[in-house]
Amino acid sequence: MKYDFLIVGAGLYGAVFAEQATKRGKKALVIDKRPTIAGNLYTEKIEGINVHKYGAHIFHTNNEKVWHYITKFATFNRYTNSPIANYKGEIYSLPFNMYTFYKLWNTITPEEAKKKIESQKTILKEPKNLEEQSIKLVGKDIYEKLIKGYTEKQWGRSCSELPAFIIKRLPVRFTYDNNYFDSKYQGIPIGGYTKMVEKMLEGVEVRLNTDYLKNKKDYKNIAKTTIYTGPIDAYFDQELGILEYRTVRFENEILDIDNFQGNAVVNYTDKETPYTRIIEHKWFEFGKDESGKDLPKTVISKEYSFEWKNGDEPYYPVNDKKNNELYERYKKLAEKEKNTFFGGRLGEYKYYDMDSVIEKALTDAEKIIR
Ligand code: FAD
C-alpha cells in the first residue's frame, strides 16, 4: 500500500488528522471533491478582503489544549463578536444585555431590567412550543422583536409550530457587555482560514477535485486506513434513508463604498426582510489588508435560510428523533467497515464548532495512529 492513511476531506477535521499523522512519520494522502482546501472554513480574497465563502466563521474556545494547538498554524487577531440586531430599522445590541434593555425600555440598572423581564414572562411548567418557551425565558418584548422573525426565517416555520426544545436557554446578561461569546480565546486567523489550513497541510500530499465516492473501490486499495469526513449516509449510498440538513444560500455583493453597515454581523430580526443576516467581511479584520492599509471597497453576504434537499450543500444537521435514529443505524454500519473511521461534522452527523472538531480530531488521531 502506498499510503498509511487516506483522508477524505480537506476540512478542519481532515487537516488536523493529516497533520498529526505526518508528525508521527506516517504517509498521508488527503483528497477533497471541492477545488479548494479548508472545507467550510475556506476564505477567498476578493478586493483584498478575506470572504468567508461558506458562512462567517469566528474562532472561539475555552479549551487550552486546542488554543495551544491551533496557534501553531496562525496568529489570531483581537476580533470580538458583537453582532447587532436590526428590527424594522431599530438597532439593538446582542446578545441580550443592558444596552438591549436600555433601548427596549429605557431601563438603566440591572434591577430595573430584571423587573421588566419578570413582569413579561409567563409562568408555564411545560411550554408546548418555541413561542411559549421563549416568552417563559425572556418575556414578550424580546421574543417579539428579537427572536420571533429571525427564528421563523431560520426554520421556515412559525414559532408556535416549532418544538420548544430548539431553544433550551437564552443567555440574558445584566451587564453592559456585548461580547457574544463567553470564551477565553477568540479571534480570526490573520491572513484568513485558508492560509491557516494550508500551513497545517504543509508536507502532506493533497488532491483536489477528487470525489472519493466516485472511485471508492480503487481508493480502498491505496491506503492501510481510511479516514472519511464526508456525509455518512452518502458513503452507504443512502441505503437506509436520507439524513436531513438545514441549508443557507449566500448572496455576495461587491460594493464600491468603504463601509456598508459598520459591523461584521447584522441580524435582521423582523419577518419581512427575506434574509436572516448580512455579513460585511472586512470588519472581521478591522477593514484593513495585511499591510495595515484601509480597504477602499467592501463585500457583503446576505444569508437566506431554506429547506435542504438532497444534493444541496449540507450545513446544519437536523438532530431530531427521526434523523438521530437513522444516524445511529448508519453508525452501526460504519463500525463494521474495515480499516475505515468516520469523523467530522458530516461523518458524525453532528454540529461541531471549530474548537470541538479540532479536539475530536486530536483525540481520534491519538487513538488511531499507532
Ligand atoms: P467540513 O469543513 O465540511 O469538511 C469536510 C470536507 O469533506 C469538505 O471539504 C467536503 O468537500 C469534503 N468531502 C465530502 N464528501 C467528499 C467526498 N465524497 N470526496 C471527497 N471529499 C469530500 N464554528 C465555529 O467555531 N465558529 C463559527 O463561527 C462557525 N460558523 C459556522 C457557520 C456555518 C454556516 C456553519 C455551517 C458552520 C459553522 N461553524 C462554526 C462550524 C465549522 O464550520 C465546523 O466546525 C467545521 O467546518 C468542521 O470541519 P469538518 O472537517 O468536519 O467539515
pLDDT score of 325 = 97
* pLDDT tens sequence across 115-153: 999 999 887 778 999 999 999 999 999 999 999 999 999
Q: Which of 6, 228, 229 to mutate to test ligand 1, by most ligand atoms within 8 A of the CB atom?
A: 229
% of the chain at pLDDT higher than 70: 100
Query: Cβ neighbours of residue 327 under 8 Å, at least 6 residues apart?
Result: 232, 243, 349
* pLDDT tens sequence across 63-105: 999 999 999 999 999 999 999 999 999 999 999 999 999 999 9
With 80 as the cut, is the pLDDT of residue 283 above it?
A: yes
* pLDDT tens sequence across 324-335: 999 999 999 999
Of 195, 151, 196, 182, nearest to 81 by C-alpha is 182
Distance 39 CA to ligand 1 centre (A): 5
Q: Which atom of ligand 1 is nearest to the CA of 55?
A: 34
Vertex 273: Cα angle to 269 and 277 (nearest 5): 55
Q: What is the mean pLDDT of residues 43-67?
A: 97
With 80 as the cut, is the pLDDT of residue 294 above it?
A: yes
Active site residue 246: yes
Cα-to-chain-centroid distance, residue 207: 25
In this structure, the residues whose C-beta lies within 6 A of any atom of ligand 1 are 8-14, 31-34, 39-41, 55-59, 211-213, 229-230, 248, 315-316, 344-346, 352-355, 357
pLDDT score of 167 = 84
Distance 293 CA to ligand 1 centre (A): 31
pLDDT score of 311 = 85
pLDDT score of 170 = 84
Rounded to 10 deg, the angle between the 110-120 and 98-105 helix axes is 70
Whether the bond into 95 is cis, omega within 30 of 0: yes
- Please report, to the nearest 10 degrees, the dihedral formed by the alpha carbons of residues 77, 81, 86, 91 taken in order: -90
pLDDT score of 286 = 97
**b/e 82-92 (16+ beta carbons within 10 angstroms → b):** bbbbbbeeeeb
Active site residue 173: yes
pLDDT band at 288 (very low <50, low <70, confident <90, very high): very high
CA distance 10 to 199: 12
User: Residue type at 303?
Assistant: E
With 80 as the cut, is the pLDDT of residue 256 above it?
A: yes
With 80 as the cut, is the pLDDT of residue 257 above it?
A: yes
Strands 185-187 and 223-228 come out as unpaired
- As assigned by CATH, the class of the 3-77+186-240+318-369 domain is alpha beta
Q: Whose CA is nearest to atom 34 of ligand 1?
A: 55
Domain boundaries, the chain: 3-77+186-240+318-369, 84-167
Cα-to-chain-centroid distance, residue 321: 22
Q: Does the reported pTM lie above 0.85?
A: yes
Report, in angstroms and rounded to the nearest whole number, the Rg of the chain calculated over CA atoms: 22
First to last CA, the chain: 16
